[in-house]
Chains A and B, each alone.
Chain A
Amino acid sequence: MNDNRNAWRNFNKGVWCDDINVSNFIKMNYTAYDGDSSFLEGPTERTKKEMSRVHELLVAENEKGGVLNVDTSKVITILSHPAGYVIDKDTDIIVGLQTDEPLKRGVSPFAGIRSSVQACNAYGYEMSDKIKDEFTYRTTHNTGVFRAYTETMKKARHAGILTGLPDAYARGRIIGDYRRIALYGMDFLIEKKKYDKDKLGEKEFLDDETIHLLEDLAKQIEFMYQLKELALLYGYDISKPAVNAFEAIQWLYFGYLGAVKEQNGAANSIGRIAEFMDIYIERDLKENTLTEQKAQELIDDLVIKLRLVRHLRTPEYNDLFAGDPVWVTLALAGVTNEGKHMVSKTSYRVLNTLYNLGSSAEPNITVLWSERLPENFKKFCAKVSIDTDSIQYENDDLMRRMYGDDYAIACCVSAMKMGKQMQFFGARCNLAKILLMTLNGGRDEIAGDQIAPEGVAFGDEVLDFDKVYTEYKNYLKWLAKLYVNTMNIIHYMHDKYAYERLMMSLHDTDVERLMAFGVSGFSVAVDSLSAIKYAKVYPVRDERGLITDFEIKGNFPKYGNDDDRVDLIGKDLIEYFYRELCKTPAYRGAKHTLSILTITSNVMYGRKTGSTPDGRKAGEPFAPGANPMHGRDAEGALASLNSVAKLDYACCRDGISNTFSITPDALGKNEDDRIVHLVTMLDGYFLQDAHHLNVNVLNREKLVAAMNDPTLYPSLTIRVSGYAVNFNKLTRDKQEEVIARTFHHAM
């Protein structure tokens, strides 16, 4: 790597010079910043001009029902489209669009041709015969999965016990380490992959997995060459490492762009890039080739491009993941293993884009919170939360113990080591519905079908907690096995028919795999068990003899009030389910992980679930993620946080999502108080090993007004469940659910 002397000038050398090790590079070279936000610059004239064009485009997109344009003539791939610009070649700084025009969506049928056709039709487009013909004799991921699915899997899926599985859309939640392109250049990375492939081929016996990996590597290398071509379309040669901040950001962005052209996975996150970019910016500032204003402009322009990423989705998909999210999750700050905070000026610059460009759902800015972050930075984050409701917080002190100090967040709450771990995404199962199925001996309480094996019968007498809980655990055991095997099929087929060639090329060859399971209806299940234990719950049967309702006599403790009597039921439930999942081996040696996260599917899951023993009526939405049920957290905000904090991250390593809304008046009397209180609250919550918090500081009245007249607040952004959305992009039922959530208010 002799020709890297210029690109790596003035960098501190380390092991990163000899082999791929971005983490080492960052730690050897970043500049920790303890100061406040006063150095930040506003938008340049150019940025304002570009943003006003973006604003026009967003308005037009909204007026056309959410999709501005679709190129149905051809399949989108890395090299499918000529260069495109927001304004033009000279005005855009960071260049590259998925297609030839901003917000024009491409068709990507690799995960499923049927859903692609539906997606086109949903927005009034017709897929071209050319694409249809191309895919007539081609197996997609979706076809593969359904060939292998068993009848039980199909039934469980249909009934809504296992739902939202990535069996008809691309799985996502894989983060390429795009920083590698800037630091090493593509030629070195290609050379390295070729070396790995040669080395692997020398093994004594080439078993299934080795052959599989050999083919993976060949695919990766092919797409690494394509990425170089993509950059050349825009006039840049990314063979060699970046020599300055502009190139570093542009190279990194080309990697991300190639990934979102190749793949339309459910969450395509960009990783932990702020502190990396900062090293290049700092060097340029020292060399006087960059000013603060220009540095901010670079970050602003990158963020503008990230805000324009789009995929073509079906209405069913939107039901699960409302608001057209891409989850360009960008994790920043955190602390090194050695205890030094990683806040840089670029951590601030990224947050500053929410002021310079206005609040926005994307990128999904995630602050890796630690007690050790500088007080100035904590306060700035709190201010940004209060002003924009656009950022989320995740506990670095907790995650660092398991993922080290160079992990990032995919999607909402999924931690993974950059370039070293990938995830097999697995949506979620419905804990509340399985409880109803338990009471009905394996039958679906809505359709009446026998889904799970027959179990013990429950009479009309008051429900006995021990009996219910024992039986419930039997059904969870059955479900866990079914769930793991279903996931094994899905990811076998996804690897086979829709492998993420470019993203995986930006991972180590011997990547560690995580298989991420999930649960929904957590608080409903927990409160239902509490009701059965502490109150008297009588089953009510319908004409089919199925238990479809409950009569509840007496009070019972509810999850969300820091009450161990109920909180510990939840803790036990989740730990039991995780242990059961681990008993069935996962595809490709993956490690099982679990999340309590619903995204926005809590509304859909609620719709598919009958009345529950906690008093929730059939069809009513669940609370999102690990949140207590709406309005049941009666002892205030912190009691609610404390209940969630009891859940053990060690068995929910894919994240425990909590969304928190508070009115400005309740948070404090004035801006200074609000900032200090929010910082104190975050510190207190995370000190207890809690994992995640979405923070909204707003009044319910504002949301009601926005629901009734979307033009009032066109860019109203709120955190929902691990991500932010533009409130106006939610459907009415989801808006109503958000409004029904607990808003902690002043008394």
Chain B
Amino acid sequence: MADIHSFESFAALDGEGIRYAVFFTGCPLRCVYCHNPDTWHKSGNDMTAEEVFNKVRRFKPYFRNGGGVTFSGGEPLLNSEFINGIYPMLKSENIGYCVDTSGSVALTDDVRQAVDNADMIILDIKFCDSEKYKKFTGGDIEKPLTLGKYCSGKGKRLVLRTVVVPGINDTEDEIEKYAKYVIENGLIFEKYELLAFHTMGFFKYENLGIENPLADTPALEPSRLDELQKHLDKTLKVIGG
């Protein structure tokens, strides 16, 4: 059983091809820029692996060109046992999955197994120094790093992501720090994508009646994101070879 927040049958941005996204509830972090605060707490929508699988399998016709399931959330790896339970069912239909995670979980056997069976791990590199990580997410920076190293050691396909927030990490200097951090720690990844902070989740804070710490922060301009992405790519090339 897992508590499911919602499903999105057409997720074309997180992972390869067309993805069927399953959003779990529950997250160990409280990121200041979170755009899904509605997934922090349980929704009361408990579903078995079989029930979820029966929904997923209906979308198999769309999973050509690398598509499949994306487990997201909330923190999907808090539900590793569930993922390991649904895995044989997915495998019987040749449906692969990827995990979109903050990495803020202990590397238990269940987590290892869920990672091992995934086609791809999308890992958030939220911050690259432990103080900021603690300050803006409430978590421990060592956990995602451990997960990233585990993936790299296993040769797992890994995509790194960082949300760029105006006023917090939207400078070239900041972006260079991220590049150094991932290279120096020996992470082996396919891609490193920057995502723009946006305000489309603000209404959720209002609906939930919780304070939005970044209520006055504007969305990052797409053109600025492009500049920073280019800078990141260049920096990675220089220091990573």
**Shortest CB–CB separation between residue A436 and chain B, in angstroms?**
32
Which residues from B are CB-within-8-Å of A676? 17, 65
Contact A680 B62 (CB under 8 A): yes
Interface string of A667-691 (1 = CB under 8 A from B): 1110001001100110111011000
Task: Tell me the bound Cα distance from A634 to B63 in angstroms.
Answer: 20
Interface string of A629-643 (1 = CB under 8 A from B): 000001111111010
Contact B13 A680 (CB under 8 A): no
Contact A636 B9 (CB under 8 A): yes
Task: Tell me the bound Cα distance from A639 to B10 in angstroms.
Answer: 8
Task: Tell me the bound Cα distance from A179 to B4 in angstroms.
Answer: 57
Which residues from B are CB-within-8-Å of A402? none
Residues of A262-299 contacting chain B, CB below 8 A: none
Say yes or no for B237: interface residue by CB 8 A criterion: no
Knowing A636-B8, A667-B12, the reply to whether A684 touches B58 (Cβ < 8 A) is no
Contact A680 B58 (CB under 8 A): no
Residues of A377-408 contacting chain B, CB below 8 A: none
Interface string of B17-37 (1 = CB under 8 A from A): 110100000000000000000
Task: Tell me the bound Cα distance from A37 to B64 in angstroms.
Answer: 23
**Shortest CB–CB separation between residue A49 and chain B, in angstroms?**
38
Which one, B13, B58, B67, contacts A642 given CB within 8 A? B58
**Shortest CB–CB separation between residue A314 and chain B, in angstroms?**
41
Which one, B6, B13, B62, B200, contacts A684 given CB within 8 A? B62
Knowing A562-B55, A677-B17, A680-B17, the reply to whether A688 touches B61 (Cβ < 8 A) is yes
Interface size on A, residues (CB 8 A): 27
Interface size on B, residues (CB 8 A): 21
Say yes or no for B49: interface residue by CB 8 A criterion: no
**Shortest CB–CB separation between residue A310 and chain B, in angstroms?**
39
Which residues from A are CB-within-8-Å of B6? 634-635
Interface string of B65-81 (1 = CB under 8 A from A): 10100000000000000
Contact A639 B7 (CB under 8 A): yes
Which one, B7, B17, B67, contacts A636 given CB within 8 A? B7
Which residues from B are CB-within-8-Å of A635? 6-9
Which residues from A are CB-within-8-Å of B67? 680
Task: Tell me the bound Cα distance from A688 to B57 in angstroms.
Answer: 13
Contact B7 A677 (CB under 8 A): no
Which one, A638, A662, A669, contacts B62 given CB within 8 A? A638
Closest to A677 in B: B12
Which residues from A are CB-within-8-Å of B64? 680, 683-684
Say yes or no for B236: interface residue by CB 8 A criterion: no
Task: Tell me the bound Cα distance from A638 to B58 in angstroms.
Answer: 10
Which residues from A are CB-within-8-Å of B58? 562, 642
Closest to B222 in A: A665
Contact A681 B9 (CB under 8 A): no
Which residues from B are CB-within-8-Å of A687? 61
**Shortest CB–CB separation between residue A506 and chain B, in angstroms?**
39
Say yes or no for B89: interface residue by CB 8 A criterion: no
Residues of B171-225 contacting chain A, CB below 8 A: 200
Contact A642 B59 (CB under 8 A): yes
Task: Tell me the bound Cα distance from A642 to B64 in angstroms.
Answer: 16
Say yes or no for A311: interface residue by CB 8 A criterion: no
Contact A680 B65 (CB under 8 A): yes
Contact A681 B10 (CB under 8 A): yes
Question: Which of B12, B59, B67 has the largest number of chain A CB atoms within 10 A?
Answer: B12
Say yes or no for A200: interface residue by CB 8 A criterion: no
Knowing A683-B64, A684-B62, A687-B61, the reply to whether A638 touches B55 (Cβ < 8 A) is no
6 closest cross-chain pairs (CB), A and B: A684-B62, A637-B10, A638-B9, A684-B61, A636-B9, A639-B9
| Chain A residues packing against B (C-beta within 8 Å) | 562, 634-640, 642, 662, 666-669, 673, 676-677, 680-681, 683-685, 687-688, 744, 746-747
16 pairs, A vs B, C-beta closer than 8 Å = A562-B58, A635-B8, A635-B9, A636-B9, A636-B10, A636-B11, A638-B59, A667-B12, A676-B17, A677-B12, A680-B67, A681-B62, A684-B59, A684-B61, A684-B62, A685-B61
| Chain B residues packing against A (C-beta within 8 Å) | 6-13, 17-18, 20, 55, 58-59, 61-65, 67, 200
